[in-house]
Chains A and B, each alone.
Chain A
Amino acid sequence: MIKAILIFNNHGKPRLSKFYEHYSEDTEQQIIRETFHLVSKRDENVCNFLEGGMLIGGSDYRLIYRHYATLYFVFCVDSSESELGILDLIQVFVETLDKCFENVCELDLIFHVDKVHNILAEMVMGGMVLETNMNEIITQVDSQNKMEKSEQSP
């Protein structure tokens, strides 16, 4: 199960946080800080997996992350997930964002928090993977956008 999905930039500013288990607001912020601290001090080209911080549950959980330009994408998962599988899932997520926003950059995430949440919701639900097929995800997002447009036009 995926316990949390976090996106933050190179300075640790959160750009998306989605927790699939309940924590208090305070703990969530601490987890984001702790995770940033753990991930950001690692060199490039080391492995993409590490044990979770104390707050998220320690060594029973694994942080799987990718670093793209200014952003870190971090998935915190339990032992039932395949590490490489999750790594691919991050890639699917990023490629989907890229298609939806056309060359996605940090600013898109900042100004469209709600969209990013929607796209993620087409992929992961309640901590489990709903869909891995990028075209299927984009079709869903497109149809939502159409509905939105049609509601705005009159």
Chain B
Amino acid sequence: MPAVSKGDGMRGLAVFISDIRNCKSKEAEIKRINKELANIRSKFKGDKALDGYSKKKYVCKLLFIFLLGHDIDFGHMEAVNLLSSNKYTEKQIGYLFISVLVNSNSELIRLINNAIKNDLSSRNPTFMCLALHCIANVGSREMAEAFASEIPRILVAGDTMDSVKQSAALCLLRLYKTSPDLVLMGEWTSRVVHLLNDQHMGVVTAAISLITCLSQKNPDEFKTCVSLAVSRLSRIVSSASTDLQDYTYYFVPAPWLSCKLLRLLQCYPPPEDGAVKGRLVECLETILNKAQEPPKSKKVQHSNAKNAILFEAISLIIHYDSEPNLLVRACNQLGQFLQHRETNLRYLALESMCTLASSEFSHEAVKTHIETVINALKTERDVSVRQRAADLLYAMCDRSNAKQIVAEMLSYLETADYSIREEMVLKVAILAEKYAVDYSWYVDTILNLIRIAGDYVSEEVWYRVIQIVINRDDVQGYAAKTVFEALQAPACHENMVKVGGYILGEFGNLIAGDPRSSPLVQFNLLHSKFHLCSVPTRALLLSAYIKFINLFPETKATIQEVLRCDSQIRNSDVELQQRAVEYLKLSSIASTDVLATVLEEMPPFPERESSILAKLKKKKGPGAVSVPELDDKREAGLSFNQRIGGSIPASPCRCSTPSPSADLLGIRSAAPIGATPTSTGSLLVDVFSEAGPAAPSAAVNDDGFLRFVCKNNGVLFENQLLQIGIKSEYRQNLGRMYLFYGNKTSVQFASFTTTVSCPGELQSHILSLNVQTKPVEPLVEGGAQIQQVLNIECLTDFSEAPLLNIKFRYGGALQNLSLKLPVTINKFFQPTEMTSHDFFQRWKQLSQPQQEAQKIFKANHGMDTEVLKAKLLGLGTALLDDVDPNPENYVCAGVIQTKGQQVGCLLRLEPNGQAQMYRLTLRCSKDSVSMRLCELLAQQF
């Protein structure tokens, strides 16, 4: 008999579901759902008490509606009521509703906790399991507080049923993950570890997840689990396929548990105890041997289960990285899988081999499979497998095979899937640089890269080739010749024009001797591309032209003619116009000596980590990129610091502080006519920010934020694409902020969205700030500015500022930016005037130690009186004259207005001109306010 007979469902529910399924359109479906929601709502609100069956029916309907993607905003209370029913069916449906629909922030948690508490103490195993499931599914902090001490007891008690133990183990794991501080294992540790010996395999299965997690966090306390795990594993591996009865899966004994045991062992180094280690090595050998035995079944499940264990065993062997014999056997096994007809196995084999490639014992063995891997890259039908093949080629690359691998990757790029092209480009660029013995090969490779996949060559890649060419004089002539040839192509990628313009501008003289590439030919070649290029490239070309005037005086007249024409000198783009005007003037008034100094060849770049590597790391996560370091000792050439964790230059994403290499020519300081604002000109900056979707913290503007503590208007943020201005006004506990988003480019921003989130709103329902926004237009045209208004209400005092998150698409790339909005507690100050007597009386009243916050700090800015006064007024308080007996000191008073309360604040700032120090003291009627104000202000003076 089937466990669920088909006739016993609820009729009303079945009818409703059928109705929905018969709806011809989305509208009809929504209509039917709304009707049902109204019906259920009225039933819930009605006077007539519902019986358990009806409640269950309605809750089931709500679940179904939720699954279809509709919000359910009621019914929670009814579900909670069902929990306290004595009937299993009702209780169970109540718990189901809660685990699907209630999140950990719900205000109902307290009521739910009560029901759980009753069920846990009921000694009815079914009820206990339901309750434990609920805790594990919701897993909120409040639940952890209520049950973290109770559950370990249930887990290790002698009289607990096995099924309850299983649930208790995973429940505890969930609580440990959400609130590790509340789960204290201490006295339970050894009894939990011994669950690995439990008779019931289900208990071991559940417990091992818990033990693995605890071992990762507290390896020392749990290290006794190693020998227990080894003996359990050994018992399973050596058992006949029938010994474990129900836990034998398609003739494989307990595959899931074996995998988990092997994973647990990967949390530890190889066992020190010789006997344990011997036993483990025996297990691993048995597993490897079994792979060679004929299969006991033709079913895919059999081979899956067997190979699942095998792959985990190989991972453990790689993790130990100490048994050359096992490593080589593992590598051979994976080599067999590389040609297996099961795609899944090929995928996993490529992936495991990636890690094997970094072991010194097996690196060579992995390399023998290069042809198979190259073949996989060319012929696999599945892009995810090709991706793994590319990863493996990257991992197995060393100097002996770099040329072959780079060539294969380049040729694959021509047909590669769009989704992996950018990553492939980065990898080729890194390998080419890392293993370049001869730099002409490097230059050829990168130029090929631009030719084949120009659209996917990010700025980092072409910045890097320029850095290398500039720093290595033996390759400069070759580079100039090669770019010159590459530019001959009738259609060449804009990135090629950039590299060409830069390199010819610096080193065009090295090939000028050949009449086929005389100065004028070079110039005409570059200029023939000029009109097809975007503004930043044209700006770069203009700089190349002025460099030409210096390199080749004979081109001066021609170039001046070009600069003088209306399309340059009156260009609508400010940057281009300015460059044209300045370069024209510079070329006509400066003497040759001055010109030669100003336009001198670029100095070598400081050595730093390749920004390409940084970009790849950001794309893939740090673990995934480590280039094998085995063969790292470079014989010749510059060694660019490539080790992970090497110095990463601060990312200069704000144009107001250009790095020395930001200006293409370095004429900023030397130019006789005003400095060139480089709004589009910071071409050589290592920009890792901006383009990453997953690095919001990188762009959080801490100092931008601090500049606004004492003022309300100004520019909050600026980079090459976007400027954000701010105007704000505050009255009592209300504020209004205008945000102005300016598109600095000539290209439209698409899907422009902004969201404001208040800290705390994710953790709790206690909001300190209420910020209302209207959505902005999704399109921001080039050069346009849009405005957004925020209405702010201060509910209670706060310390974290709200976060503004901006997302938009700029030329296909998703831009993501997070900024702290400068809403600080002092914005809600009302100034209070008072006499000296009143001031000191109140000062004395606020004398409890926690009401005072004090900081002594060095002056960051000049100690000018007027500036200080302006800042203190900007703070929002009243600046009180003739109050402090020492006229050097400043005292202020104000009241912070929040919705719920008013907080009186007194401030005293004592400058010490000689030491260039300040002492700042704050006394407020609420201690959290003193603290926060003190932190904010200490960074202002």
Query: Do the two chains bind?
Result: yes
Interface residues of A (CB under 8 A from B): 14-18, 20, 22, 25, 29, 32, 42-43, 45-51, 54, 58-60, 80, 82-85, 87-89, 91-92, 99-102, 108, 110-115, 117-118, 121, 125-136, 138, 140-145, 147-148, 151-152
Contact of A47 among B99, B171, B347 (CB under 8 A): B347
Q: Which of A84, A99, A121, A140 gathers the greatest number of chain B CB atoms within 10 Å?
A: A84
Nearest chain A CB to B72 CB, angstrom units? 8
Nearest chain A CB to B322 CB, angstrom units? 23
What 20 new A-B contacts, CB under 8 Å, besides A80-B212, A111-B13? A46-B343, A46-B385, A48-B343, A49-B344, A49-B384, A84-B311, A88-B304, A99-B3, A111-B17, A115-B4, A121-B99, A121-B133, A125-B132, A130-B202, A133-B202, A136-B202, A141-B3, A147-B126, A148-B89, A152-B89
Contacting chain A: which of B58-66, B888-896, B913-921?
B58-66
| B68→A114 contact, CB < 8 A | no
| A151→B347 contact, CB < 8 A | no
| A58→B312 contact, CB < 8 A | no
| B171→A125 contact, CB < 8 A | yes
A111 CB contacts on chain B under 8 angstroms: 9, 13-14, 17
Q: Using known A-B contacts A58-B694, A111-B17, A136-B202, determine if residue A85 contacts B255 with beta carbons closer than 8 Å.
A: yes
| B471 interface residue per 8 A CB criterion | no
Query: From residue 330 to 371 of chain B, which have CB atoms closer than 8 A to chain A?
Result: 343-344, 346-348
B263 CB contacts on chain A under 8 angstroms: 80, 82
| A151→B89 contact, CB < 8 A | yes
Query: From residue 153 to 167 of chain B, which have CB atoms closer than 8 A to chain A?
Result: 163, 166-167
| A131→B166 contact, CB < 8 A | yes
The 22 listed contacts between A and B (C-beta, < 8 Å) are A20-B137, A32-B69, A43-B381, A51-B384, A59-B621, A82-B259, A83-B344, A84-B348, A91-B304, A99-B3, A100-B2, A100-B4, A110-B21, A111-B9, A126-B133, A126-B136, A126-B137, A128-B170, A129-B209, A130-B205, A144-B92, A147-B126
Query: In the complex, A130 Cα to B92 Cα: how many Å?
Result: 18
Q: Which of B96, B263, B301, B308 gathers the greatest number of chain A CB atoms within 10 Å?
A: B308
B170 CB contacts on chain A under 8 angstroms: 125-126, 128, 130
Give the residue name and chain of the B residue nearest to A136 (CB).
B202
| B344→A145 contact, CB < 8 A | no
Nearest chain A CB to B422 CB, angstrom units? 13
B344 CB contacts on chain A under 8 angstroms: 47-49, 83-84, 87
| A114→B163 contact, CB < 8 A | no
Query: In the complex, A122 Cα to B466 Cα: how many Å?
Result: 60
Chain B interface, number of residues (Cβ within 8 angstroms): 75
B311 CB contacts on chain A under 8 angstroms: 82-84
| B635 interface residue per 8 A CB criterion | no
Q: Using known A-B contacts A22-B103, A133-B201, A135-B246, determine if residue A46 contacts B382 with beta carbons closer than 8 Å.
A: yes
Give the residue name and chain of the A residue nearest to B86 (CB).
A151
Query: In the complex, A114 Cα to B132 Cα: how many Å?
Result: 18
A110 CB contacts on chain B under 8 angstroms: 17, 21
A121 CB contacts on chain B under 8 angstroms: 99, 133
Nearest chain A CB to B58 CB, angstrom units? 12
| A101→B2 contact, CB < 8 A | yes
Give the residue name and chain of the A residue nearest to B210 (CB).
A128
| A83→B348 contact, CB < 8 A | yes
| A145→B247 contact, CB < 8 A | no
Nearest chain A CB to B597 CB, angstrom units? 50
Give the residue name and chain of the B residue nearest to A18 (CB).
B100
B304 CB contacts on chain A under 8 angstroms: 84, 87-88, 91
| B384→A130 contact, CB < 8 A | no
Nearest chain A CB to B290 CB, angstrom units? 15
Nearest chain B CB to A31 CB, angstrom units? 11
Contact of B88 among A58, A92, A142, A148 (CB under 8 A): A148
* Contact indicator per residue, chain B 669-699, by CB within 8 Å of chain A (1) or not (0): 0000000000000000000000001100000
| B451 interface residue per 8 A CB criterion | no
Nearest chain A CB to B490 CB, angstrom units? 37
Query: In the complex, A134 Cα to B246 Cα: how many Å?
Result: 8
Q: How many A-B residue pairs have CB under 8 A?
A: 186
Give the residue name and chain of the A residue nearest to B14 (CB).
A111
A114 CB contacts on chain B under 8 angstroms: 60, 63, 93, 96
A49 CB contacts on chain B under 8 angstroms: 344, 347-348, 384
| B92→A82 contact, CB < 8 A | no
Which 6 A-B residue pairs are closest in the complex by CB-CB distance? A126-B136, A84-B308, A102-B2, A46-B382, A126-B174, A47-B343
Query: In the complex, A92 Cα to B620 Cα: how many Å?
Result: 33
Nearest chain A CB to B303 CB, angstrom units? 9
Query: In the complex, A10 Cα to B348 Cα: how many Å?
Result: 27
Query: In the complex, A118 Cα to B99 Cα: how many Å?
Result: 11
Give the residue name and chain of the A residue nearest to B315 (CB).
A82
Nearest chain A CB to B115 CB, angstrom units? 17
| A82→B60 contact, CB < 8 A | no
| B384→A131 contact, CB < 8 A | no
| B255→A47 contact, CB < 8 A | no
Give the residue name and chain of the A residue nearest to B346 (CB).
A47
Nearest chain A CB to B9 CB, angstrom units? 6
Query: In the complex, A48 Cα to B723 Cα: how many Å?
Result: 45
A128 CB contacts on chain B under 8 angstroms: 170, 173-174, 206, 209
Contact of A88 among B206, B301, B621 (CB under 8 A): B301
| B348→A101 contact, CB < 8 A | no
Nearest chain B CB to A1 CB, angstrom units? 8
A125 CB contacts on chain B under 8 angstroms: 132-133, 136-137, 167, 170-171, 174, 206
Give the residue name and chain of the B residue nearest to A16 (CB).
B67
* Contact indicator per residue, chain B 696-722, by CB within 8 Å of chain A (1) or not (0): 000000000000000000000000000
B537 CB contacts on chain A under 8 angstroms: none
Query: In the complex, A145 Cα to B64 Cα: how many Å?
Result: 21
Contact of A17 among B9, B67, B99, B307 (CB under 8 A): B67
Give the residue name and chain of the A residue nearest to B140 (CB).
A22
Query: From residue 593 to 646 of chain B, which have CB atoms closer than 8 A to chain A?
Result: 620-621, 624
Query: From residue 117 to 141 of chain B, which have CB atoms closer than 8 A to chain A?
Result: 126, 132-133, 136-137, 139
Give the residue name and chain of the B residue nearest to A148 (CB).
B89
Q: Using known A-B contacts A133-B247, A147-B88, determine if residue A113 contacts B312 with beta carbons closer than 8 Å.
A: no
Query: In the complex, A48 Cα to B14 Cα: how many Å?
Result: 34
* Contact indicator per residue, chain B 139-154, by CB within 8 Å of chain A (1) or not (0): 1000000000000000
Nearest chain A CB to B615 CB, angstrom units? 15
Query: In the complex, A79 Cα to B695 Cα: how many Å?
Result: 21
Give the residue name and chain of the B residue nearest to A57 (CB).
B694
Give the residue name and chain of the A residue nearest to B250 (CB).
A88
Contact of A14 among B4, B68, B71, B247 (CB under 8 A): B68
B87 CB contacts on chain A under 8 angstroms: 151
B139 CB contacts on chain A under 8 angstroms: 126
Nearest chain B CB to A150 CB, angstrom units? 9
A148 CB contacts on chain B under 8 angstroms: 88-89
Query: In the complex, A18 Cα to B101 Cα: how many Å?
Result: 10
| A89→B205 contact, CB < 8 A | no
| B3→A145 contact, CB < 8 A | yes
Q: Which of A29, A92, A108, A144 gathers the greatest number of chain B CB atoms within 10 Å?
A: A144
Nearest chain A CB to B622 CB, angstrom units? 12
B96 CB contacts on chain A under 8 angstroms: 114, 117-118
B305 CB contacts on chain A under 8 angstroms: 84, 88
Query: In the complex, A89 Cα to B69 Cα: how many Å?
Result: 27
B4 CB contacts on chain A under 8 angstroms: 100-101, 108, 112, 115, 141, 145
| B441 interface residue per 8 A CB criterion | no
| B308→A82 contact, CB < 8 A | yes
Nearest chain A CB to B423 CB, angstrom units? 10
Query: From residue 289 to 316 of chain B, which have CB atoms closer than 8 A to chain A?
Result: 301, 304-305, 307-308, 311-312
| B509 interface residue per 8 A CB criterion | no
| B104 interface residue per 8 A CB criterion | yes
Query: In the complex, A130 Cα to B166 Cα: how many Å?
Result: 6
B163 CB contacts on chain A under 8 angstroms: 140
| A47→B621 contact, CB < 8 A | no
Nearest chain A CB to B245 CB, angstrom units? 9
B104 CB contacts on chain A under 8 angstroms: 22
